């Protein structure tokens, strides 16, 4: 789709209408199982992002339930992508990974995989496994949790790795011939508006194909909820309109060939004390496009390779 924002589209990228089906592969995280820590990232509660149809089922049964769920919403599709989303979906030995990926790929109509993971849970052997799947004609995308480009922020949220690890993961993925996108949280403690805008210059230096931006949601019962209660002044909490203006500033700095897959996240209201109400991705995207059009601006307007920060 042409316009002031480079929107991520399966139709444009692969020539097909594809529906993601979220899959819980039964993985965990090195920041939870003791390899790095046991508390996880301070903002994290994976239960907030699990569709109900994933609970307590095999991968095949999850996909079956996902097809039924989306079929009720009358979404037309040419096929499905198995989206391994909860936790770190490359955090296992090769045999385990291959077994779970292959179960998903064998499901009727599945055209490929989207694998969400951490930058410190990838290596050349795992990338080769995914490259081999791609060579069989399947779509393969990785989604890395970037969260922040600032090491001081990553330490504060107990991420367990630095940004150099993130950069290495993207570079290794590109070398393996695989597509990679990333998630970035806007509003993490200690980050100013200027820092968030300047992060675009760092992101420009990564071999990243697409990005998903998320406003920080402070989830009940997490360490971050306690931190916010104690030190609310450390958090930038824009409302929807200010958030749209922030995104517009970021996109003006961002490479125009980085596709934007998402600009907002949502969880069931029971998980958070500060929901944004009924605003959703499609409505906020229309507002973002309107904001850029009102400025007579567009994604990449201020981008220059000479200003990208390595």
- For the chain, the structural domain boundaries read 10-302
The chain-wide mean pLDDT, for the chain, equals 92
Domain 10-302 has CATH 3.40.50.720: no
pLDDT of residue 172: 98
The more confidently predicted of residues 271 and 5 is 5
pLDDT of residue 228: 94
Please give the distance of CA 268 from its chain centroid, rounded to a whole number: 18
Q: Report the distance separating Cα 301 and Cα 307, nearest Å.
A: 13
What is the end-to-end Cα distance of the chain in Å, rounded? 30
Q: What is the mean pLDDT of residues 26-32?
A: 92
pLDDT of residue 1: 44
160-197 pLDDT tens trace: 999 999 999 999 999 999 999 999 999 999 999 999 99
**DSSP three-state, residue 179:** strand
Across 24-38, 74-88, 143-157, the highest mean pLDDT is recorded for 143-157
Q: How confident is the model at residue 41 (pLDDT cuts 50, 70, 90)?
A: very high
Q: What is the mean pLDDT of residues 123-144?
A: 98
Q: Report the distance separating Cα 149 and Cα 201, nearest Å.
A: 10
């Amino acid at each position: 789709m042409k316009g002031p924002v480079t929107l991520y589209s399966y139709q444009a990228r692969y020539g097909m209408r594809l529906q993601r089906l979220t899959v819980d592969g039964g993985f965990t995280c090195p920041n939870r199982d003791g390899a790095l820590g046991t508390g996880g990232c301070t903002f994290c509660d994976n239960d907030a992002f699990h569709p109900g149809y994933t609970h307590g089922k095999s991968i095949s049964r999850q996909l079956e339930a996902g097809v039924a769920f989306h079929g009720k919403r009358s979404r037309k599709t040419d096929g499905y992508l198995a989206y391994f989303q909860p936790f770190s979906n490359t955090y296992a030995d090769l045999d385990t990974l291959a077994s779970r990926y292959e179960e998903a790929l064998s499901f009727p109509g599945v055209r490929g995989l989207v694998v969400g993971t951490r930058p410190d849970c990838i290596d050349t052997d795992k990338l080769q496994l995914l490259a081999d799947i791609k060579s069989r004609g399947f779509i393969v995308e990785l989604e890395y949790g970037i969260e922040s480009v600032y090491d001081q922020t990553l330490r504060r949220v107990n991420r367990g790795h630095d940004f150099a690890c993130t950069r290495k993961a993207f570079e290794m993925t590109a070398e393996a011939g695989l597509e990679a996108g990333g998630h970035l949280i806007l509003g993490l403690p200690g980050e100013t508006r200027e820092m968030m805008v300047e992060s675009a210059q760092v992101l420009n230096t990564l071999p990243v194909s697409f990005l998903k931006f998320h406003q920080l949601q402070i989830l009940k019962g997490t360490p971050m909820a306690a931190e916010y209660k104690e030190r609310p002044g450390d958090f930038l909490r824009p409302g929807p309109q200010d958030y749209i203006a922030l995104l517009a500033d970021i996109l003006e700095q961002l490479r125009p060939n980085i596709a934007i897959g998402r600009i907002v996240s949502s969880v069931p209201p029971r998980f958070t004390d500060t929901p944004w109400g009924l605003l959703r991705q499609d409505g906020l995207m229309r507002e973002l496009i309107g904001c850029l059009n009102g400025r007579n601006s567009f994604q990449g307007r201020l981008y220059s390779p000479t200003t990208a920060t390595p």
